Amino acid sequence: MSGVVAVHVGAGSHSSSLKGEYKKLMKNACNQAMEVLRGGGNAVDAVCTATQVLEDSPRTNAGFGSSLTAEGGVECDASVMDGHTLRHGAVGAVPGVRNPVLLARQILDAQSQPLPGGLVPPSFLAGPGAQMWAASNNVETCQPEELVADRSRRIHEESRRNIQRLEEGGTKRRRYALPEEEEEMQGGLLDTVGAVCVDSSGYVASAVSSGGLLLKHTGRVGQAAVYGCGCWAENNCDGSGVSIGVSTTGCGEHLIRTMFARLCARAAISPELGSNITHAVTTHFLESDFLEGVHPRMAGALILRYDPQSAVSDLYWLHTTRTMGVCYMTTNDRKPQAQFSELAEDKIGMSVNLQCKSFGGHLPITTSGELQPGPSHRGLLVPGEEEEEREKSDSSDEEEEPG
């Protein structure tokens, strides 16, 4: 079978002028992850490599360049899940770690090594204690201020001024930020990053990393660190025979209250997964009693479903936000494909944009109508249109990427 890796730069409101940069970044992440797979690495290796690339970019809200806390610091959340062993490693509100996903990976791996005296290895570490564990377990640490990007500082300062004006009853708004930063501030910067993968052995894995909400309280932990909320990976999911990897994005508080990653994984088990995912997200997220009084409801997910009987991998991505950026590649591809999907302004937080891509066979959906009941459900690629879509994607990338 061929391996598949896919990444996302989050669901939120990405600046139109920066989409070319985001696509270039996602392609780099896919390419490096694919090198790992082709070199004999497994799915966990691949998702960690891809997510590390995304963390290192100042354009993403993860690792270096993360959104700043109310006090102006960087505290990161991340987790990794191995669908073969079902182990999960996570870190929350950790300062001074360049690549939180690598710390989460180290915590995951350490669970297979028993401790003396019957002590239990941790699966989730938070705050300064997580940084201490990193330093003693060969994970690179740094001074916390080294993770603060100039762009993050500008957005932080402008956002604090906006809040101060609101508290003082002011209505006029001056422009301190760059135009693209202004657009992202208005969108909420919910752009958690992550990756999913199935390797040549059929094992799945997932990873997620986030700097959290802008101006969050120090110590706040989002969904990226929480079991069943940030990512999910499970071979033979619920005994169904299919393997599923999920990486989520959006407002962490919303995703935690609905255990969003596991919700998406369960919905993706059925062969009618397109309609099932739409129904599950609508019923158990957009209409959830657990989010009573919460509006708008912001979520996104990247879902990879592998059926070993047919050797077919189906990739789905969904969001209730304005935009979501994704990129994917198989071991048979020469280059990755990157794209952004968009949801109409009047649908944000109230509807789902679900799109999909199939590798190795036809989509396991009886009719496309189940996926597209309205204008908010778009992007189904059907056999015969795949090459045309690929050509459009290549052309779009050439136009948008800066020279």
Q: How confident is the model at residue 9 (pLDDT cuts 50, 70, 90)?
A: very high
| DSSP three-state, residue 208 | strand
pLDDT higher than 60, residue 179: no
287 φ, ψ to 5°? -115, 20
Strands 353-359 and 312-319: antiparallel
pLDDT at residue 273, rounded to an integer: 62
- Say what the pLDDT of residue 164 is: 82
Among all chains, which residue has been given the structure tokens 């989010």? 291
Q: Which of 33-37, 132-136, 170-174 has the lowest mean pLDDT?
A: 170-174
Evaluate if residue 400 carries a pLDDT over 50.
Answer: no
Give the type of residue at 235. N
pLDDT greater at residue 232 or residue 189 = 232
Count of structural domains, the chain? 1
Pairing mode of beta strands 323-330, 337-342: antiparallel
Whether the ω angle into residue 296 lies within 30 degrees of 0, i.e. cis, is yes
Q: What percentage of the chain carries pLDDT values higher than 90?
A: 74
Q: Does residue 62 lie within any of the structural domains? A: yes
Digit-coded pLDDT (tens) for 84-104: 999 999 999 999 999 999 999
Q: Running DSSP on this structure, what letter comes out for residue 384?
A: T
Does residue 166 fall inside a structural domain? no
- For residue 56, the model assigns a pLDDT of 97
Q: What is the pLDDT at residue 275?
A: 81
Token readout for 4 is 């598949």
Task: Determine contact, residues 313/304, Cβ cutoff 8 Å.
Answer: yes
Q: Which two tokens stand for residue 348?
A: 């944000």
Q: Is residue 177 assigned to a domain?
A: no
Convert the pLDDT of each residue in 246-302 to its tens digit: 999 999 999 999 999 999 999 999 867 678 999 999 999 999 999 999 999 999 999
- Tokens 């919910």 appear where? 190
Q: Quick one: which of 74, 78, 129, 81 has its CA closest to 103?
A: 78
pLDDT, residue 372, reads 35
Q: What is the pLDDT of the chain when averaged over all its residues?
A: 86
Q: Are 147 and 64 in contact (CB under 8 A)?
A: yes
Range from 164-178, 223-237, 356-370 carrying the lowest mean pLDDT = 356-370
Q: Are 270 and 276 in contact (CB under 8 A)?
A: yes
- Confidence label for 189 from pLDDT (cuts 50, 70 and 90): low
Cα–Cα distance between 262 and 7 in angstroms, integer?
Answer: 18
Residue type, 272: E
pLDDT digits (tens, 9 = 90+) for 200-223: 999 999 999 999 999 999 999 999
pLDDT at 19: 94
Q: What is the pLDDT of residues 61-89, one digit of tens each?
A: 999 999 999 999 999 999 999 999 999 99
Q: Output the domain CATH number for residue 49.
A: 3.60.20.30
* More reliable by pLDDT, 267 or 168: 267
**pLDDT score of 161:** 87
State the residue for tokens 């939120």.
12
Q: Is the dihedral of CA 342, 265, 248, 34 positive or negative?
A: negative
Could you give the angle at the alpha carbon of 68 between the alpha carbons of 221 and 161, nearest 5°? Answer: 125
> CB-based contacts of 300: which residues, under 8 Å, 6+ apart?
8, 10, 11, 190, 248, 249, 250, 317, 318, 319, 320, 321, 324
Instruction: Dump pLDDT digits (tens) for 102-120.
Output: 999 999 999 999 899 999 9
Query: For a pLDDT cut of 70, what percent of the chain falls above it?
Result: 83
Look at 12-16, 18-22, 92-96, 266-270 and tell me which has the smallest mean pLDDT.
Answer: 12-16
Is residue 170 domain-resident?
Answer: no
Burial of 391 (0-12, 13-18, 19+ CB in 10 A): exposed
Whole-number pLDDT of residue 49: 99
Is the per-residue pLDDT at 33 higher than 50?
yes
Q: Say if 165 falls within a structural domain.
A: no
CA atoms within 13 A on the CB side of 186: 14
pLDDT of 374 above 50 = no
390 has pLDDT over 50: no
On whether residue 111 sits in a domain, the answer given is yes
**Active-site residue set:** 192
**Host domain of residue 226:** 4-143+184-400
